[in-house]
Structure 1
Amino acid sequence: MTAVLSIQSHVAYGHVGNSSAVFPLQRLGIEVWPVHTVQFSNHTGYGFWRGRVFDGQAVDEVVEGIADRGVLGGCDAVLSGYLGSADIGHAVIGAVGRVREANPAAVYCCDPVIGDVGRGVFVRPGIPEFMREVAVPAADVVTPNHYELDLLSGTTTTSLSSVKEAVAAVQAMGPKVVLTTSLVADDTPDDAVDLLASEGGRHWRVRTPRLDVAVNGAGDAIAALFLAHWLDTRSAAEAVARASASVHGLLAATEAAGSREILLVAAQGEFVSPSHTFEVTEV
C-alpha cells in the first residue's frame, strides 16, 4: 500500500491544509501519516480563529516518533504545503531527508504556497526565499499556481511559451515534475482556467470551465491528488487529467450548494469517479 507523510496545517472546521489533503488521499486507498504544523478552529479567511501554531521542534518530535516505529522505509512520498515559518520549513526538509535515507525511492512533493493573483504574497517574510532556495530545489514534484511560478522563476509570464520557459527555470532548480495551477495565459478564454503539467521537456494542458466559487483548500486538494496519481502512473499527463477532473467536480458541487467550504466529504465520489473528464493536450 502506498504511504504518504503529509506535513501541513490543520483546521477542525472546514477543509484546508491536511484537512483538505488527507481525506482525498485516503479515499484513493493511500495510507496517510498527517503531521500538523498548526491546529486552528477554522481557516484564517474568516478573519478570526482560535488555536496555535506549532514550531519546527514539534514537527521533528512527531516525525521522530514515526521513525521509532521503524516504518519510514515504507513511506513513498512526503507532501508539504503552507509553511508558517522557516523553522517549520527546515523541519519539513529534515523529514524529507529522514524518509529518503530510509527509502531512497521516496519522492518529495512541495506545494510552494507563497501568494496568489489579487492577494500578492501572503506568507511571512523569509518564506518566499526559503521556498526558492531550499524547499523547491529539494523537491521532485512542485505544484505552484501561476503567480507562484512567476515568483519562483523571477519572471512575469503571459504567453504559453514564456510559461514553459519559467517551468524550465524551476525544473533547473531541482524538481522533475511541475504542475502549474490557476494558469491564465494569453490564449486562455475568459470562461476557462488552465492547468499545465510538465515533465521531461514535455507539457500537457488541461482546460476546465471557470466556476463562480471562491473557497479555500482547493489548491491543497489538487496537490495531493496530483501526487497520488503521479505515484500511481508516473505520468504527469495522466496525473493532471485525473486530478483536474476530480477537483472540478468537487468545486462544481460546492458552487451548486453555495457553500463557503469545499464539499470534500459530500462530493467524495469525485475522487474515485469524476463526473466529467477533460481533454489533455500536449502543447
Structure 2
Amino acid sequence: MNILSIQSHVSYGHVGNSAAVFPLQRAGHEVWPVHTVNFSNHTGYGDWGGMMVPASEVTSIIDGIERRGVFGQIDGILSGYQGGPDIAGAIVDAVRRIKDVNPEALYACDPVMGNAKSGCFVSDEIPPLLRDKVVPVADIITPNQFELGYLTGHPVETLEQTLAAVKAAQDIGPKTVLVTSVKRPETADDVIEMLAVDGDRAYLVATPFLPFKRNGSGDVTAALFTGHYLETNSVKVALQRTASSVFDLLSNTFEAESRELLLVESQEVFAHPRMQFSVEEL
C-alpha cells in the first residue's frame, strides 16, 4: 500500500510522522511523509526548537507529488497533528485532489486534540475545524475516547454512550471509527480497550493497562490501523494486529523506563504481530 502521511515531524523522539512512518514501513507499506511542523522534539518537554510549516508549503509539496503523476497510486491518506489552523484546508484540498484521480483512496484522520489526563492541548481553533471541515471528508477517524466525546459533544463514560458517540461521528462523515484508550466503569482497572466500528459492525479488544503514557503512541496506533485496514479491508484483523503491536511496543518502552517510544528496538512487532489478544464482536 502507498500511504501519504501528512503529520508533524520531530528530530528527537517519536511523534507524528516520526512515529508513523517507520512502523508502517516495517509492516510492509510505502509511506510518503509530508510534515506540518519541523520541531526538535515534541512539545511535552516544554521546550523545543523549529517551526510550524505554513499551509502553502504543505500544498507546494503535494503539488510536487502531483507533478510526478502518482496520485493514482495513493491507496490512503493519513493525517495527524496539524500544527496551525491553516493546515486543515491544505489537507482537505489534498484529499479532494487525490480522490478526483483515485476515488478508491481512503482518507484516515487522527483528530489530535488532547486526552483524558491532559485535556485539550491544541489551539481553540483546531477542534471546530476538525469537526466541521476535516472529519466530514474522512473515511476513517481514530480518536481516543476523550477526543470522540469532544468531537461529538456526547458523553463517553459507558460502552453504550461511546457507541452512541461513534454513531454521531459516523453521521458527520466517516464510515470507520477506531476509538483508543477506552475506559468504562465495568472494566477492571488493569485493562484498557480499543473499539473499532465499521458501518454497523463493532469490535472490542482488551489489553493489559500499563500505568504510563508516552507521546506518539496514538500516532503509531492510527498509522498501523490505517495500514492494516487498507491491506485487508477487515476492521477486525486491523484491530487485532494493531492491538498486538502497540501493546508490545508500549510494554517494551515501559520495561526499559524510556521516555521515548522504543520504535527501532520493537520493530519486529510491527512486521510480525503476535496476535495475542482476541477481538469480540458486539
TM-score range, shorter chain: over 0.9
Give how far 1:164 is off: 0.8
1:276–1:259 distance in 2 versus 1, CA, 3 Å: farther
Give how far 1:274 is off: 2.8
Counterpart residue number, 2:91: 92
The correspondence of residues 167-186 of structure 1 with structure 2, limited to 5 A, is 167-186=166-185
Gaps of 5+ in 1: none
Partner SS, residue 158 of structure 1:
coil
Counterpart residue number, 1:66: 65
Q: Does 1:210 align with 2:209?
A: yes
Write out per-residue CA displacement over residues 138-178 of structure 1, whole angstroms, 9 at most, x where no aligned residue: 10000000001111111112111111111001001110000
Cα distance in 1 for residues equivalent to 2:12 and 2:185: 38
Write out per-residue CA displacement over residues 14-58 of structure 1, whole angstroms, 9 at most, x where no aligned residue: 100000000111111211110001111111111111111111000
Tell me if structure 2 keeps the 8 A contact 1:115–1:123: yes
Tell me if structure 2 keeps the 8 A contact 1:213–1:254: no
Cα distance in 2 for residues equivalent to 1:137 and 1:56: 20
Tell me if structure 1 keeps the 8 A contact 2:28–2:271: no
Q: Aligned Cα RMSD in Å?
A: 0.9
Cα distance in 2 for residues equivalent to 1:191 and 1:141: 28
Which amino acid letter does the alignment assign opposite residue 177 of structure 2? V
**Identity of matched residues, %:** 50
Aligned residue pairs, count:
282
The correspondence of residues 55-134 of structure 1 with structure 2, limited to 5 A, is 55-134=54-133
Cα distance in 1 for residues equivalent to 2:194 and 2:186: 13
Query: Normalising to structure 2: TM-score of the pair?
Result: 0.98
Give how far 1:275 is off: 4.3
Gaps of 5+ in 2: none
Give how far 1:276 is off: 5.5
Give how far 1:227 is off: 0.3
Partner SS, residue 172 of structure 2:
coil
Give how far 1:214 is off: 2.0
Cα distance in 1 for residues equivalent to 2:252 and 2:273: 11
Which amino acid letter does the alignment assign opposite residue 144 of structure 1? P
Give how far 1:69 is off: 0.5
Give how far 1:186 is off: 2.0
Counterpart residue number, 1:27: 26
Give how far 1:115 is off: 1.3
Cα distance in 2 for residues equivalent to 1:31 and 1:21: 12
